[in-house]
Amino acid sequence: AMRACENQKTRGNALFSEGQILLNGTETLSPNPVLAVELLLEAVRLNNSDAATLLGHCYEFGKGVVANDRLAFEMYKKAATEGHDIAQMQLGFCFLRGCCNTKTDNKEAVKWFTKAAEKNNADAQHTLGLCFLGIEGIPRDVEKAFSFFQQAAAQRHPGGQYNVGLAFLNGVGVAQDRQEAIQWLQRATNQNVSMAMIMLGICYESGIESNKTRAVDLFNRAAMRGHPLGQLKLARCFLNGYGVRKNAAHAKELFFKAAQQGDEHAQYNLGLLYLHGNGVEKDQGRAIEWFLKSAKGGHALSQMELGLAYEHGIVGERNETRALYWYTKAAEQDCLKARLAQALFCVLMWQKSKENDDETA
């Protein structure tokens, strides 16, 4: 009986390996997802939890089979109950996102992430850290979050390293230690985490360990990877001549790349360049277009610029209602400039209405 059990296990492992290879293909073998699913199903019948986990993935994303949320959940649940850490992770994500035929249940998600984390699954440890930083239904616990980030980082998990660095930088869940922060952010940077590059660049920029060349290099690396914040930071370097020769035209290109990705700070900066003709031909119409995009994203200074544009009729006729609307939006965000502009505008409007009243009296 023991030998039969061993044979079953060996057969299950072989079927799983073959199915895994066929699902993705190799340099010399074309993928065959349909056959892969058949082999995985056979392996699942032999209680192979690796196969059940992968089959869950196939059902979830419709690989080699028609997508089926219910069956995806069943497969993940089967393997997770058998103690498979990756399946436990996937099951956790089902509950976290409310996908695969489940309702969102953060407590249940954390339960399954914890099971996987106990098996030293670095992804689960990192995800738990994020959960304890604050999601609905889970009490915020920054010390617990830091502990899980540390566990993941100890296994060279890039996200874990980044979040440990961030925790040391800001003193969240651990005593603030800027030098320790720089070391962890450097480790995450070495693993190509774009946000780690940017945060490390900010450390070198803000004088924690002042180094202009290093800061620019890090912003450039993140920008080259297409990260909008990296593009924004690098653009500002070129705009202000920080660590590089001033080049407003190049700054404009970088602001544009970030703006196209929806970064409202870049959209605002692009608006300013067009408004003042800095690095581009002066074009107030285009300036307003970019301010409008940025303002809709909640950028207070863009909202203020729109208020000014409508108050003074920079593009088209003056529109006092729209001016007051945008000044108010910006002022609600504690933008001091906007609060002053709003107050001044209201005084002017009051004076104007008073003058009109005097004329009609």
Average pLDDT for 118-125: 97
> CB of 306 within 8 A of CB of 326?
yes
DSSP assignment of 274-325, as one string? Answer: HHHTSSS---HHHHHHHHHHHHHTT-HHHHHHHHHHHHHTSSSS--HHHHHH
Question: For residue 155, what pLDDT is reported?
Answer: 98
Tell me the C-alpha distance between 112 and 105, whole Å: 11
Longest dimension (CA), the chain: 108
Task: Label residue 173 by pLDDT band (50, 70, 90).
Answer: very high
Average pLDDT for 147-155: 98
pTM score: 0.87
Q: Is the pLDDT of residue 360 over 70?
A: no
What confidence tens digit (pLDDT) does each residue in 294-332 have?
Answer: 999 999 999 999 999 998 898 788 998 898 899 899 989
Percent of the chain with pLDDT over 70: 97
Task: Label residue 77 by pLDDT band (50, 70, 90).
Answer: very high
What confidence tens digit (pLDDT) does each residue in 15-48 have?
Answer: 999 999 999 999 999 999 999 999 999 999 999 9
> How is the chain split among helix, strand and coil, in percent rounded to 5?
75, 0, 25
Q: Is the pLDDT of residue 281 over 90?
A: yes
Question: For residue 337, what pLDDT is reported?
Answer: 81
Task: Label residue 285 by pLDDT band (50, 70, 90).
Answer: very high
What confidence tens digit (pLDDT) does each residue in 83-94 have?
Answer: 999 999 999 999
Q: In whole angstroms, how far apart are CA 115 and each of 44, 60, 75, 92?
A: 22, 22, 17, 10
Sequence-distant (6+) residues with CB within 8 A of 122 are 151, 152, 155, 156, 157, 160
Question: For residue 4, what pLDDT is reported?
Answer: 61
Residue of 160, 64, 178 whose CA lies nearest to 117:
160
Amino acid in position 224: M
HSE at residue 149, side-chain half, CA atoms within 13 A, is: 28
Average pLDDT for 201-223: 92
Tell me the C-alpha distance between 100 and 56, whole Å: 10
Question: For residue 7, what pLDDT is reported?
Answer: 79
Structure tokens at 143: 């010390």
Question: For residue 335, what pLDDT is reported?
Answer: 79
Question: For residue 297, what pLDDT is reported?
Answer: 94
Question: For residue 341, what pLDDT is reported?
Answer: 82
What confidence tens digit (pLDDT) does each residue in 180-211 have?
Answer: 999 999 999 999 999 999 999 999 998 777 89
Question: For residue 310, what pLDDT is reported?
Answer: 92
Question: For residue 334, what pLDDT is reported?
Answer: 82
Question: For residue 6, what pLDDT is reported?
Answer: 72
Question: For residue 3, what pLDDT is reported?
Answer: 65
> CB of 275 within 8 A of CB of 281?
no
Residues in the chain, how many?
361
Lowest mean pLDDT among 100-109, 129-138, 200-209: 200-209
Domain 1-115 CATH superfamily: Tetratricopeptide repeat domain (1.25.40.10)
